[in-house]
Amino acid sequence: MFTSSPKAGRLLPALMLSLCIFLPLHSQEISDTGEEEFSDEDLLFIESEGLTVVGSTETTQQMKALNREDIEKFHAPDLASLLQPALDMSITRYGPYGNQTDISMRGFDSERIAFLIDGVPANSPMSGEFDISVIDLNAVERIEVIYGGSDSKYNVSGALGGVINIITVKEQKAGLRIGTSLSNTAALPGKYYDRASGEDKDPEWKDLFDAQNAAASVGYGTEKFSVTANGFFNRADNHFLYQDDYGKTLRKEKNEIRDMGASASIVAHVQDYTKLIAGGDVYYGDKNVPTSGTSWIAGRQLDFSTRQNIILDMPRFFRDDLAAEASLSHILQTMDYGPPGGKISRHKQRSLMAVNRWTWYGFEKLMFRFGGDYRYTNLDSTEVGGHDRHDGGMYLGAEYRPLKKILIIPSLKTVFSGTAAEPVVPVPKLGFLWLASDSLSFKNNYFRSFKNPDLEDLYWSGGGAAGNPDLKPEDGWGTDLGLSWQPVEWAGLESTVFTQWTRDSIHWYGSSDGNWKPQNVGEAVFFGWDSRLRFVIPFSPGPVEKPVLSLSYQFLNSYLLSYGYTWDSGKRIPYMPMHTIGASLDIPWKTGSLFISGHYETLRFADTGNITKLDPYFLMNITVNQKLGGSFTVFAAGRNILNTSYESFDGYPMPGFTLTLGLKMNFDIPTEKADE
């Protein structure tokens, strides 16, 4: 649920209700002597898929994945701009690139979605949020999305709405790879009313050069190790035309963004199949943050973050039926916000996280998973104060196949809640998979979801607001039932119905004395249906290579049972559309592709009383890619090509038509193997 909150200028008025990183799959074959032999074929499969294969290629969970080829089709400036057209996710934004962005899954916002980078939790311990700006999509190899709170793959806490795992590490093929890309984004110029002078002004033609992106990457691989490095820079003025409530055409200003980042990783083969993986990244952003959606007065925000990971992957831990993986991560995040004429707000948080996961393939029909995670956080904040925090948990799970076509996946994680009343909380999950036929399968999950309060909720002080150290964790239960049906090679259907109940959701609200304080007042029930159709046109007209048509429909009905509302009140969760419809057409040819996507969301409400309405909107995007020889690719991405006027968040207009033109260059230079 969204309610107003005065947490300095950084927190805009919104709060919504709501390793097995790569423990690998290996196959066992029976030799002529009757003994089991280890096959490395699946290890090759693991490397080609990134750090995503866990236990079994079959799962009871509703999952989606985007590989590198999928990501490159969209040329999206950030993660949200990719997930909305690619997976038809609901996105709430306060503006274009660099502004606060919220991704929703099954009715829950980003604070209640677990974001992972290479399998390691990345949500802020202070606010629970995840800054999508730190992700360089040019460095992402794969994105994994797990819907709902049924995650038994990574077993992370706080995943009420789901899990988004961003995979950046990939083992490079032998040789040297160099890549660069340059692009320019143009906003549609036009005449507008200048509020400062009170006069109409001619089009600002410099808006045709509103934003630029530059990115570079290099990768080098041998038989024993590989290394990659990536870097990017963005300049975004975020100037665009919009209409105010009085029908005047205005121009967005004071929302300029300058940011840059770099990342690097190395994968080294230690012995046998054991690998040592080390990586890290750094991000810096200089942002103008408007005091409101239509204001030309802005505060300045400086963001800095850095992350380092070291992972030891042991697919065979002294024996063929035991696999282990251990990781250690360090994250440093700082944010300085200077409101116009106000006191600077500074926040520095440092986290150290350890993850250890094991898989034991001990029996023919039974496999065990067990492990745990621990995170230490140190926070130094002008509004939250100085605090240390310890959290984590341990889990035990299994995959049991009583029959060839039936898979049962139970899991139990004990989470350290940090409360005296309930210091350890059990979070059980149970999943079923039935392979009814070669073309039809059914999935069913039952799960508990759980999330500790964020440090802001507990300890915030200042700006007319105060945290509540007596807050209870957010808690809930859910279930889903899905099917996957592919009657023919060229057509497939995936459909899932789900329901989820949550209680003790944390919300900030104002008291009679004008001060704001969080309370466990949120309770809601969600009912939904997610269906996707995919058609591969079984012929190739002319130079086209089998076009692909995809259709999706998402239904979400929610009942807000807080603030005195009952079932009969019929109040919906703010910013959650009841109907979301998506369609896309992918037309590939030998040297390029054309991708057309449409995204439609119905009426949304901006408040808990369902009084303020946000109109339905439809967005259409078109992306064209064309190779020029073997190393060069030109691309064009038209977003909101119908120039739809809409607001994603109440009072914050979004850009109309924008056009991105760019050039990508990739060079593969073969080298001799290191051992030769």
Q: What is the mean pLDDT of residues 98-104?
A: 92
The pLDDT of residue 655: 95
The pLDDT of residue 271: 80
Q: Rounded to an integer, what distance in angstroms lies between the CA atom of residue 359 and that of residue 19? A: 11
* Higher pLDDT pick, 673 / 659: 659
List, for residues 32-46, the tens digit of each pLDDT value: 333 333 333 332 222
> Which letter does DSSP use for residue 110 in this model?
G
List, for residues 533-586, the tens digit of each pLDDT value: 999 988 877 888 899 999 999 999 999 998 889 999 999 999 999 999 999 999
Query: Is the confidence at residue 597, as pLDDT, over 60?
Result: yes
> Which letter does DSSP use for residue 568 in this model?
G
> Which letter does DSSP use for residue 255 in this model?
-
The pLDDT of residue 59: 85
Start-end of H helices in 205-294: none
> Residue 415: which pLDDT band, with cuts at 50, 70 and 90?
very high
How big is the CA angle at 224 (ends 218 and 227), to the nearest 5 degrees?
A: 20
> Residue 671: which pLDDT band, with cuts at 50, 70 and 90?
confident
> Residue 418: which pLDDT band, with cuts at 50, 70 and 90?
low
Q: Which domains occur in the chain, in start order?
A: 27-254+293-298+435-669 (2.40.170.20)
List, for residues 455-497, the tens digit of each pLDDT value: 999 999 987 888 989 888 899 999 999 999 999 989 999 999 9
Query: Is the confidence at residue 223, as pLDDT, over 80?
Result: yes
Query: Is the confidence at residue 257, as pLDDT, over 80?
Result: yes
pLDDT > 70 in the chain, percent: 89
Q: How many residues does the chain have?
A: 676
Q: Rounded to an integer, what distance in angstroms lies between the CA atom of residue 574 and that of residue 558? A: 9
Q: How many CB atoms lie within 10 A of CB 633?
A: 19
Query: Is the confidence at residue 4, as pLDDT, over 60?
Result: no
> Residue 522: which pLDDT band, with cuts at 50, 70 and 90?
confident
The pLDDT of residue 630: 84
Q: What residues have CB less than 8 Å from 420, skipping those under 6 apart?
A: none
Q: Poorest-confidence range of 209-223, 267-281, 586-600?
A: 267-281
Q: Rounded to an integer, what distance in angstroms lies between the CA atom of residue 41 and that of residue 34? A: 20
> Residue 420: which pLDDT band, with cuts at 50, 70 and 90?
low
**Distance between alpha carbon 83 and the CA centroid of its chain, in Å?**
8
The pLDDT of residue 508: 80
Tell which phi-psi region holds residue 6, choosing left (phi > 0), alpha (psi between -120 and 50) or beta.
alpha
pLDDT > 90 in the chain, percent: 69
The pLDDT of residue 273: 82
Q: How many CB atoms lie within 10 A of CB 420?
A: 6
